[in-house]
Amino acid sequence: MKRALDVALAAAGLLLGGPVLLAAMAAIRLESPGHPIYRQRRIGRDGRPFDLLKLRTMVHGAEHQGAGMAVNEGDPRITRVGAFLRRTSLDELPNLVNVLRGEMSIVGPRPTIPVQVEQYTERQRGRLAVRPGITGWAQVNGRASLPWDERIELDLWYVEHRSLALDLRILGRTLKILLRGEGLYKGDTGGWR
């Protein structure tokens, strides 16, 4: 049932968001050279790696400049278009392709980079028992303002209590956050792009 809902929501999101996605890709290319889609290796369900797709919000080659993979608020490598995309979470639209591929779910723990997963305790590896999500329990309960360990605990709580009713509750809270103009991933260390 969850997979069917994921496919239906991802397909509808890409269909409805297609014009926005194309406009954002054009704006990215007009502002800075380089491909508008950014790929980053993340770890998914059962520890399987996959390439997360995002709209590029930083200058091309940013990972080789300044703070490298670390991104701080006000980072000069973030483009003007990129700042808007981050603030509105529109940079996550290509994640819907990851959902259609079966690498991600609409709701679940955010996927993290391999170096973070290598630091997990055995208990923390429990968050890899489900497909990672575009939004999740941690995102609607404080997002990146929470310390990393607290976010993992919220993700583990989700894994242990997951249900269709909880997913719908998370989707409702996500919609409220987005309608208020708050991004879901502000300062998310696993969200470099």
Q: How many CB atoms lie within 10 A of CB 97?
A: 16
The residue behind tokens 């997963």 is 117
Q: What residues make up the domain containing 105?
A: 2-183
pLDDT of residue 123: 95
Q: Is residue 193 part of a domain?
A: no
In a domain, 112, yes or no: yes
- Give the span between the Cα atoms of 108 and 105, in whole angstroms: 6
At residue 187, the pLDDT reads 45
Q: What is the pTM of this model?
A: 0.87
Mind listing the pLDDT tens digit of every residue in the chain (193 residues)?
A: 899 999 999 999 999 999 999 999 999 999 999 999 999 999 999 999 999 999 999 887 777 666 556 666 677 888 999 999 988 889 999 999 999 999 999 999 999 999 999 999 999 999 999 999 999 999 999 876 788 889 999 999 999 999 999 999 999 999 898 888 665 655 444 443 3
How many other C-beta atoms lie within 10 A of the C-beta of residue 65? 13
Is residue 61 in some structural domain?
yes
Q: Is the dihedral of CA 52, 187, 93, 173 positive or negative?
A: positive
In a domain, 11, yes or no: yes
Task: Work out the number of other CB atoms within 10 angstroms of the CB of residue 1.
Answer: 7
The whole-number pLDDT of residue 184 equals 60
Q: What is the pLDDT of residue 165?
A: 95
Instruction: Please count the structural domains in the chain.
Output: 1
Q: Rounded to the nearest 5°, which phi and psi values hold at 112?
A: -115, 170
What pLDDT does residue 47 have?
95
Q: What pLDDT shows up at residue 18?
A: 95
Residue 189 inside a domain? The answer is no
| Structural domain includes residue 129 | yes
